[in-house]
Structure 1
Amino acid sequence: MASIYKRGNTWTANIFVIKDGKRRRKTKSGFKTKAQAKGWANEMEVAKQNNTLTLRSDMLFADFYDNWFVTFKAPTITKATSRWYLYVSKSIRNYFPKTKIEDVTRINFQSFLNSFGKTHGVNTARKMRTLIKQVAVAAIADGYISKDFTYRTNITGQEPKSADLKFLEEDDMKALADYISSKPLTIRAVTDMMIITALQSGARYAEIAGLEWPDVNFEKGFIRIETTWDQFYKEFKPTKTKSSIRNIDMPSSYMDELYDWHQLHPDTTFVFQGKNDIPPTSNAANKQLRRDLDDIGAIKIITFHGLRHTHASWLLAHDVDLHYVSERLGHSNTTITLNTYSHLLKTRRNSEIDKSISLLSNL
């Protein structure tokens, strides 16, 4: 039953509801007329009957998110995945430091997305909204809010770089391999060995960093990927997918060089062991790659992961079977390979153009 009364020059309405076994009150003041107060009270009564009535809370948006994460997500996800959730938590706390969960609206959440999109990629922004939407749904289920503030909000952000920028063309690929090979093993950087391994195998940074000497089969000429290295927590973890567990056949010239590398580092646990007896970080590998590419005057400056793209693109451009390339990369299926490497190297593209024109000319 609603309680409506006049306080000074305005009207106030109270709604009572049983919540968690206790009698709770929802109040709103400032109505200019009794009719307005009664109208609001009627709306709240309908919401109460539909179980959509929310009660005022002092819970901050950031605190609700953190509580939700600790209770529902942290026990079920990996440490690596949790870093993304913690990043979202920090973003929310920075933008909504004192905003209560019930005060988050579509307008101020859209403003948050707009601000985030100015300095981040559109894919990152999309992932951010998807995760926060889960929080909004949880807040509705727990009675903190009645509407989804992420509903029909728009993603903004910087578009991802062109696929052409993610891999080296054949000339630069060969120049990079030759340049690293010209450095004597006795003085060659560990990160250079990781770079040449990525170029020859197409393996990911974490897979290469996690290699131990028992994973190298010198007799049969392959490296075995069974685990990965988590550079943040400095521990081993499972591969990205079950399909990522694989043997990667390597050129004999590479295996011969790796054998000599082993002779120079017979007591290391990791194949590529840096300071503090652990593998170099991805940041260190990226810095070394940039130096190498600068030294050879490469047209493109790519990241360490771009070496994986270079490896796959080069094989596909030279008509290596798609299924084999997919298995070599550790993809779950060929669809992933096709979607990722739909582009081809420039020389292959020009060749396909000439071939197509020639065929069409003979119709």
Structure 2
Amino acid sequence: MAGRTVKKDDKTNTWYYLFTHGINDNGKPKQYKKRGFKTKQAAQKAMNELDHSLTTGTYVKPNKILYREYMIEQWLEDKLTRVKRQTLETYTWLVKTHILPVLGGTEINNLTAMQIQGLYNKLTKEKKLSDENIQKVHTLINDSLKKAERWGLIQKNPASLVDRPKMIRKEVMVWSMDEVKHFLKHTDNESRYYIAFELALASGMRQGEILGLRWQDVDFENNCVRITQTLSSDGKEIQPYTKTRAGTRNIDLPAETMNQLKKHKNRLEKEMGEAEPVDYTDMDLVVCSKNGTPTNKSNLRRAFDKSIQKAGLKKMKFHCMRHTHATLLLLQGVNPKVVSERLGHSSVKITLDVYSHLLPSMQKETAEQLGRALYED
């Protein structure tokens, strides 16, 4: 037994449908009714979709759960055991500050692709978030609704119908080889932070990886370091890399950098020997405070800024030394796959995307080298 009715509600100037399908437990026809459609066609389409879902067994009974309730009480709660603390804090900030104020008051099964797209448009116009974070907002919404679909809370994930927001990559700031040499020459190599600068430029390690590097992961015999852990971005904890994470890797280093590491190690051993045992915490860190504890990132940043000013170079962030390392290798013709492995990127595509601005000049040099090989005696 089935009945289909689409009518206009003159009081609200909207359309509604009344659909009869199946029998209730009491033997009476089971009816489904929904109001609030702006057009007759919209009501008809919604009724057809309901008919299809009931016929195919994919129907999801409407619920009154607000998206806010679902995100906080279920989705974020589920993430608590699946991601690291720092990552969870970022998710929570994006959800509570930028997602829920716009979408939180809507019942989860009433969310639409247009609402989600509207949020992305709003965030883009306000420019309060970076393109990267707006993409993260999309990732979180899409993941949450995909899970809601699997859990039977919604019939279809509306975020799957919305395009991922575009991200315009800013050209990275780097030093030339001459500027790198000038910086190292005019930087106080007696400073406890000098080794951090040397490692950043010679290895391309992330700041957190440098501040989390242990002496047990420095191989003086084979002139390399093994990246196994990182200092969290808030500086509160050392986080180990898992075996499957792209960050875990070996990086070969120049002999000169290894010599600087030996010199730095001697300095730290002397400091530890002179310190009172009660005042020193030996965490085996290569870059550490005078008490052996992790280095404060603000102190490192101030030391870096001071060294740049002393060298008379253009100011840039500590992370740009990682970009400088990669750029210099690519300009010297090092295979992008090798560069990607040194940086700990999960794929060479990421490396090529970030440093694509170098490709035109690299291709020109390659063509010239090929020409000389083919046509010169």
When normalised by structure 2's length, the TM-score is 0.70
**Equivalent in the alignment of 1:271:** 286
In 2 relative to 1, CA 358–79 (structure 1 residues): closer, same or farther, beyond 3 Å? Answer: same
Shift of the alpha carbon at 1:204?
1.8
Moved more, 230-239 or 111-120: 230-239
Identity of aligned residues (%): 24
Moved more, 198-207 or 265-274: 265-274
In 2 relative to 1, CA 309–278 (structure 1 residues): closer, same or farther, beyond 3 Å? Answer: same
Which residue, out of 138, 162, 178, partners 1:153? 162
**Equivalent in the alignment of 1:254:** 260
The letter of the residue matching 2:173 is K
- 1:48 is aligned to 2:51: no
In 2 relative to 1, CA 14–158 (structure 1 residues): closer, same or farther, beyond 3 Å? Answer: closer
Size of the aligned set, in residue pairs, is 348
- 1:236 is aligned to 2:239: yes
**Equivalent in the alignment of 1:61:** 67
What is the alpha-carbon distance in structure 2 between the residues aligned to residue 221 and residue 156 of structure 1?
A: 43
In 2 relative to 1, CA 255–351 (structure 1 residues): closer, same or farther, beyond 3 Å? Answer: farther
Q: How does 1:15-26 map to 2 (within 5 A)?
A: 26=32
The letter of the residue matching 1:161 is K
Q: Say if 1:282 and 1:304, in contact at 8 Å, map to a contact too.
A: no
Q: Say if 2:109 and 2:153, in contact at 8 Å, map to a contact too.
A: yes
> Aligned with 1:75: secondary structure?
coil
**Equivalent in the alignment of 2:207:** 205
Query: What runs of 5+ residues in structure 2 fail to find an aligned partner?
Result: 273-279
Listed one character per residue, the Cα deviations across residues 195-236 of structure 1 (whole Å, up to 9, x for unaligned) are 222112222222211122333345654433333233445133
**Equivalent in the alignment of 2:217:** 215
The letter of the residue matching 2:311 is I
Which residue, out of 320, 333, 346, partners 1:306? 320
When normalised by structure 1's length, the TM-score is 0.72
Moved more, 124-133 or 305-314: 124-133
In 2 relative to 1, CA 339–156 (structure 1 residues): closer, same or farther, beyond 3 Å? Answer: closer
C-alpha RMSD of the superposition: 4.7
What is the alpha-carbon distance in structure 1 between the residues aligned to residue 77 and residue 269 of structure 2?
A: 50
- 1:195 is aligned to 2:197: yes
Which residue, out of 94, 104, 122, partners 2:101? 94
Q: Say if 1:139 and 1:145, in contact at 8 Å, map to a contact too.
A: yes
In 2 relative to 1, CA 311–48 (structure 1 residues): closer, same or farther, beyond 3 Å? Answer: same
Which residue, out of 300, 304, 307, partners 1:292? 307
Listed one character per residue, the Cα deviations across residues 40-94 of structure 1 (whole Å, up to 9, x for unaligned) are 8787455433345444432111222234424654434444443443344223223
- 1:113 is aligned to 2:120: yes
Q: Say if 2:195 and 2:260, in contact at 8 Å, map to a contact too.
A: no
Q: Say if 1:229 and 1:236, in contact at 8 Å, map to a contact too.
A: yes
The letter of the residue matching 2:217 is D
